[in-house]
Structure 1
Amino acid sequence: MSVNKVILIGNVGKDPDIRYLDNNVCVASFTLATTERGYTTSAGIQIPDKTEWHNIVLWRGLAKITEQYVKKGTQVYIEGKLRTRSWDDQNGIRRYTTEIYADNMELLGRRADQSNTVSGNNYNPAQNTYAQPTSSVQSTTSNPFDENNQIDDLPF
């Protein structure tokens, strides 16, 4: 058994590159910065922040959402898998790059205090979310307001 899973939370480094391939298939790519905070050791040595850059690739529905809502500086949560690809450059030298192919993306930060979960192609306008077609997750959250817009039996 093997597992190829990556989870990242970071900030988008530049506006996403959006391309449309044959049959109107959308692909988006951008860089994502994750930073480990620096600290001071007990001996007084300053350890600086360390930033890593990741190449993120999103396809189809996730790419279209990226096109609409993601820009430089946006904080995102990414789940995906590592993929390494290679090509020959102009001089015939073999080059490699490692990318994260995203399966899930969540837009973080404040935007009218809404949840912005993005995953797959099925859009739910009531929750401003996208979900996988085979998702079996059901919401158990009830509305705390009755029809007259008054609080109804809150536990506090």
Structure 2
Amino acid sequence: MNEAMVTLAGWLGNDVTTRQAGDAPVATFRLACTPRRYNRKDDQWVDADTQWYTVTAWRGLAENCAASLSSGDPVVVVGRLNATKWTNTSGMEITSWEVEALAVGHDLSKGRSQFVRNPRPDGSPAGVTDSAEPVDPGERQRSAAA
């Protein structure tokens, strides 16, 4: 496959909207990315034009985006980049950039976030083992090496 994979860091331009596509939930939001460059001549940082991307997420990622993200949140998106060309009412050809997200998360260089695991399909909480005793993750590594 020769797909263009991208990683974008930016800000949500709107709240996440969701819809159903058959039996799959789809979340959509707009992501604003404003490149910042240092202008050595003027000895200052300068913002370039803001680039806007439409991001779509499917199934479980869609549900998690809808439950976790709000307009103005700083996020990082990893996904497949697609260009869509269309003609507007004035007859101009427009290219819009869309990203089919594979992973989305808050940009932790801008603040803190709280992670909550999804429950497992069998109904048991994530991270619970079969034994009654909690397992130290370091102990698991030491016993596997022995």
TM-score by length of 1: 0.61
* Corresponding residue number in structure 1 for 2:133: none
* Corresponding residue number in structure 1 for 2:138: 142
Is contact 2:3–2:81 with CA below 8 Å preserved after alignment?
no
Q: Which has the higher contact order (CA 8 A, sep 6+)?
A: 2
Tell me how far apart the structure 1 counterparts of residues 126 and 75 of structure 2 sit (CA, whole Å).
20
Gaps of 5+ in 1: 127-140, 144-156
1:48 equivalenced with 2:43 (yes/no): no
Q: Measured at CA, do residues 117 and 56 of structure 1 come closer, stay the same or move farther in structure 2, by a change above 3 Å?
A: farther
Amino acid at match of 2:80: K
Q: Which runs of 4+ in 1 moved over 6 A?
A: 88-94
Aligned length: 125
* Corresponding residue number in structure 1 for 2:7: 7
Is contact 2:52–2:97 with CA below 8 Å preserved after alignment?
no
Q: Measured at CA, do residues 125 and 73 of structure 1 come closer, stay the same or move farther in structure 2, by a change above 3 Å?
A: farther
* Corresponding residue number in structure 2 for 1:80: 79
Amino acid at match of 1:8: L
Alignment of 1:4-153 (within 5 A): 4-23=4-23, 25-41=24-40, 43-44=41-42, 46=44, 48-50=46-48, 51-86=50-85, 96-108=95-107, 109-112=111-114, 114=115, 125-126=126-127, 142=138
- Report the aligned-residue RMSD: 3.6
Tell me how far apart the structure 2 counterparts of residues 117 and 46 of structure 1 sit (CA, whole Å).
43
Amino acid at match of 1:5: M
